[in-house]
């Protein structure tokens, strides 16, 4: 029987970490993720967990400590945001290249500069090609559930890649919601014990970690990472099935909300999906066939599955909470449109950059996107596929 609670997203992530009871947690504070290691440190101090908590001098050191712990054969976790993830950048790539299944809670925040502590996805998008599995969370419940599933996915023998669980800074990280927790013993049984095949402290198999890797082998090792990322897709689904048996909560690679007969659809990630669902419901009451596709798994990107899900749509809008600054759309837009093209499915598509630096995205903003999509269907014309949503016009306060 589940335990009903009221927790913020940060508390939910810390509670999941407590129930997992990792061997090592190394962390350095940065808003808005600071509360996660702060809450977890109290579990260490009062003896609820027997984790070795390492308070390091920087985020670079936090990821370095996690790499050392995982390489030695321990289960390691950490949390960060924005510039903290940027400072980890070197070690982020090293963690994935060494095939170390570290789990990181990423509370999404704008990367400076200028300095901003509020939500957008520029931190996650900055490392989207670093070889980490990336799960996005609409709600506090999803942040908790994704964290419980994370180690089962990352540590699978056909995967062995690090994984980050993303949630929106302040929007979910500090907002209190009703949540259903799994009993500690069930979590312990579900997550299991980490039993790596190769690790530094195994005296029966001396190995080197992080050796020089030149022309003779690096190409093959990168191809192996790519294969592992492809393998992760099925592992994510398999773990989700086991999770559903335990909790009754179902997860896929993405969520289709009233998409089966939709003519127009929005594709987005994290908390904006909740706002969009509300708008979809209102539009449906008016007889407008609107739908939503919410991305849960961003890496590996479920290209073929997304293309199939969107094949019946007449027009779609992809919402990016980070600008790639490339003059041709955001990262999610490029991935979705690439998926459609490769699968030979043509659906008129527009991209909206939105919510930068924590800018509120309200229901009327989302409704305006659906209105634009109806106009595209009516006129069969797209003036510009690259747009901004909620951007102040010149002269506005």
pLDDT confidence of residue 354:
98
All domains of the chain, ordered by start, with CATH? 3-247 (3.40.50.970), 254-389 (3.40.50.920)
pLDDT confidence of residue 348:
98
Do 352 and 388 touch, CB atoms closer than 8 A?
yes
pLDDT confidence of residue 211:
83
pLDDT confidence of residue 1:
66
Question: Greatest CA separation found in the chain?
Answer: 70
Do 128 and 298 touch, CB atoms closer than 8 A?
yes
pTM (2 decimals)? Answer: 0.98
* Chain-centroid distance, C-alpha 92: 15
pLDDT confidence of residue 155:
98
Cα separation, 140 vs 156, whole angstroms: 25
pLDDT confidence of residue 393:
84
Do 376 and 313 touch, CB atoms closer than 8 A?
no
| b/e 109-145 (16+ beta carbons within 10 angstroms → b) | bbbeeeebbbbbbbbbbbbbebbbbbbbbbbbbbbbb
Cα separation, 270 vs 166, whole angstroms: 8
Do 298 and 269 touch, CB atoms closer than 8 A?
yes
pLDDT confidence of residue 352:
98
Do 52 and 39 touch, CB atoms closer than 8 A?
no
pLDDT confidence of residue 2:
84
Do 59 and 85 touch, CB atoms closer than 8 A?
yes
Task: Tell me if residue 371 falls in helix, strand or coil.
Answer: helix
**Phi, psi dihedrals of residue 321, rounded to the nearest 5°:** -95, 30
pLDDT confidence of residue 394:
74
Task: Tell me if residue 119 falls in helix, strand or coil.
Answer: coil
Cα separation, 382 vs 386, whole angstroms: 10
Per-residue pLDDT of the chain (397 residues; tens, 9 = 90+): 689 999 999 999 999 999 999 999 999 999 999 999 999 999 999 999 999 999 999 999 999 999 999 999 999 999 999 999 999 999 999 999 999 999 999 999 999 989 999 999 999 999 999 999 999 999 999 999 999 999 999 999 999 999 999 999 999 999 999 999 999 999 999 999 999 999 999 999 999 998 899 999 999 999 999 999 999 999 999 999 999 999 999 999 999 999 999 999 999 999 999 999 999 999 999 999 999 999 999 999 999 999 999 999 999 999 999 999 999 999 999 999 999 999 999 999 999 999 999 999 999 999 999 999 999 999 999 999 999 999 998 777 6
pLDDT confidence of residue 396:
74
Task: Tell me if residue 388 falls in helix, strand or coil.
Answer: strand
Number of neighbouring beta carbons within 10 Å of residue 338: 13
């Amino acid at each position: 029987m589940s335990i009903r609670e009221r927790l913020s997203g940060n508390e939910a992530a810390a509670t999941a970490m407590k129930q997992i009871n990792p061997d090592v947690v190394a962390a350095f504070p940065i808003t808005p993720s600071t509360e996660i290691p702060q809450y977890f440190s109290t579990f260490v101090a009062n003896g609820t967990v027997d984790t070795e908590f390492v308070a390091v001098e920087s985020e670079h050191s936090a990821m370095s400590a996690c790499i050392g712990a995982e390489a030695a054969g321990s289960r390691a976790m950490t949390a960060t945001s924005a510039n903290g993830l940027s400072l980890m950048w070197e070690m982020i790539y090293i963690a994935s290249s060494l095939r170390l299944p570290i789990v990181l809670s990423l509370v999404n925040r704008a990367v400076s500069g200028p300095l901003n502590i509020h939500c957008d996805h520029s931190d996650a998008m900055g490392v989207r090609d670093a070889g980490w599995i990336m799960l996005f969370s609409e709600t506090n419940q999803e942040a908790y559930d994704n964290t419980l599933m994370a180690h089962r996915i990352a540590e699978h023998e056909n995967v062995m890649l690090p994984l980050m669980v993303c949630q929106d800074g302040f929007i979910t990280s500090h907002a209190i919601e009703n949540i259903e927790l799994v009993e500690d013993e069930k979590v312990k049984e579900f997550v299991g014990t980490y039993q790596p095949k190769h690790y530094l402290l195994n005296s029966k198999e001396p190995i080197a970690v992080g050796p020089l890797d030149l022309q003779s082998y690096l190409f093959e090792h990168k191809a192996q990472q790519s294969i592992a990322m492809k393998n992760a897709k099925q592992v994510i689904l398999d773990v989700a099935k086991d999770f559903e048996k335990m909790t009754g909560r179902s997860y896929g690679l993405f969520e289709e909300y009233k998409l089966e007969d939709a003519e127009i659809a929005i594709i987005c990630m994290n908390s904006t999906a909740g706002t969009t669902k509300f708008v979809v419901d209102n539009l449906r009451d008016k007889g407008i066939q609107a739908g939503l596709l919410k991305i849960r798994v961003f890496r590996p990107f479920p290209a073929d599955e997304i293309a199939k899900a969107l094949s019946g749509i007449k027009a779609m809008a992809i919402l990016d909470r980070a600008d790639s600054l490339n003059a041709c759309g955001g990262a999610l837009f490029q991935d979705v449109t690439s998926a459609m093209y490769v699968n030979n499915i043509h659906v008129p598509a527009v991209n909206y950059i939105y919510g930068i630096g924590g800018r509120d995205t309200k229901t009327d903003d989302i409704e305006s996107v659906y209105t634009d999509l109806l106009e595209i269907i009516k006129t069969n014309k797209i003036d510009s596929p690259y747009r901004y949503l909620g951007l102040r016009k010149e002269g506005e306060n």
